[in-house]
Amino acid sequence: MLLRKGLHGVMGFLNSVNKCGTFLHAAAPRYPIPLMWRYYRYILPEVRSRLAHWRQRAERIPDPELRRQALASLTDKRFHCEGGAVYAAVHLDSRHLLIPLIVALQTISDYLDNLCDRSTSTDGRDFRRLHQSMLDAVQPEADPADYYALHPEKDDGGYLRELTEECRKSVAALPSYAKVKPHVVRLVGLYTDLQVFKHLPPGEREPALRNWWNEHRGEYPELYWQEFAAATGSTLGVFMLFSAAADEGLSDGEASRIANAYFPYLCAEHILLDYLIDQQEDRDGGDLNFCSYYAGAEHAAQRIRLIAEEAGRRTEQLVAPKFHRMVVQGLLALYLSDPKASRQPPVRKARRILMRNSPIMRLFFWANSVMVRVTH
């Protein structure tokens, strides 16, 4: 009863303010309630419409294994698309480009993660060929490859190629994509490397990841190897660069500042939180979990807090810093409000450390808890 009353009061307030036009200006939202209004009123319904489109398309995949993995990714990982699309709220008038682009690229990512993690192949060469689709998706001039050339199952009826073409069409229409493209390609390339190495057989994956880290540690000496790896697993930096490219006046300097603000710190915060709440699940499944390399819950919380604080400092230098501050704090609230966090005593301990002294985060925590119950 209290939950319904609380939600009714918040939504009533949002509707009354919206009638005055307060939340519909073109600038990036600077406060939690306007951001949540834009998201739940304009972004989420369109994201779910695109997901429904891709589900209908996945249902027509001829190969049963590929169809099973495509449908599973759209069911189990839809929240990745729903969360990533918050960047369409920065440029609401460009959401017709940004939402299809974000949903398509994230759907490729989730589908391929299933193919590499839960399907029939353990071949790193196969994983790299599959993920060439993500690199082709952000390079409209590239000639598409045969992505299934090394994969046991091949007939997806054009599903992966259509997702890739959706991305290529969208990035080509973004007015400043040329300014962000080098950064996007670099981040997608690092993401591809991670997917290759982390999906190798258990005895091979950690040595491969550590060797890869040795190639990059000079650039990020303040990070642990698992924190760098975690950072490469986030698509948020790419999505923010897409959003920035919707601005015709974007400068080369601002594009570089966005890339350097998001990677590695905000991206590392994102994925480490994801791993934090998945620890029990990954132990049960025998899967790699980057948070398992910390000395314990308190150590993990301290490192994640330091990384989040650095993400906050770096994003303060960007245009619309209040929006990025909400992202930094909203990620903490999003993951720490997940029911999985409450079921694990070590994660509850980490949550107490991470939730200290942040009223904005507590607002996001409450709002997400309410909205998740109502909208699912």
Q: What pLDDT score was predicted for residue 278?
A: 92
Note whether 46 and 37 are within 8 A (CB).
no
**pLDDT at residue 368 in the model:** 53
Question: How many C-beta atoms lie closer than 10 Å to residue 210's C-beta?
Answer: 14
Q: Which residue has the tokens 């190639």?
A: 215
> Which DSSP string do the residues of 251-304 spell out, in sequence order?
-HHHHHHHHHHIIIIIHHHHHHHHHHHTHHHHHHHT---GGGGSSSHHHHHHHH
CA-based nearest residue to 336, from 320, 321, 354: 354
What confidence score (pLDDT) does residue 342 get?
79
Candidates 255, 250, 289, 257; CA nearest to 273 is 289
Are 348 and 300 in contact by the 8 Å Cβ rule? The answer is no
For the chain, the helix, strand and coil percentages under 3-state DSSP, each to the nearest 5: 75, 0, 25
Q: pLDDT value at position 197?
A: 97
Q: For each successive 10 residues of the chain (376 residues), what is the average pLDDT?
A: 36 40 57 86 97 98 97 95 95 96 98 90 95 98 95 97 98 98 98 97 95 97 98 98 97 97 98 93 88 94 95 94 91 83 82 68 52 46
Using DSSP's 3-state secondary structure scheme, residue 69 falls into helix
Q: What is the pTM of this model?
A: 0.88
Contact 134, 188 (CB under 8 A): yes
As a whole number of angstroms, the distance between CA 283 and CA 179 comes to 42
User: What pLDDT was estimated at residue 361?
Assistant: 52
DSSP-assigned states of every residue in 301-347: HHHHHHHHHHHHHHHTTSSSHHHHHHHHHHHHHHHHTSHHHHT-HHH
pLDDT of residue 364: 55
* Structure token digits, residue 122: 């353990």
Domain assignments of the chain as residue spans, ordered by start: 49-173, 175-376
